[in-house]
Amino acid sequence: MGDGTELVAQVYSDVENDFRERYTNYLRTMKQKIYDTNLGYTELEDERKLVNQQAMRTPGRRGEIIKSEEIDKEFSRRYSEHKKAMFYYD
Cα separation, 78 vs 84, whole angstroms: 10
pLDDT tens readout for residues 31-69: 887 665 556 688 999 999 999 999 999 888 999 999 999
pLDDT tens readout for residues 7-22: 777 878 889 999 999 9
What mean pLDDT comes out for the span 65-89?
Answer: 85
Four-point Cα dihedral 45, 78, 20, 40, nearest 10 = 30
Cα separation, 35 vs 8, whole angstroms: 43
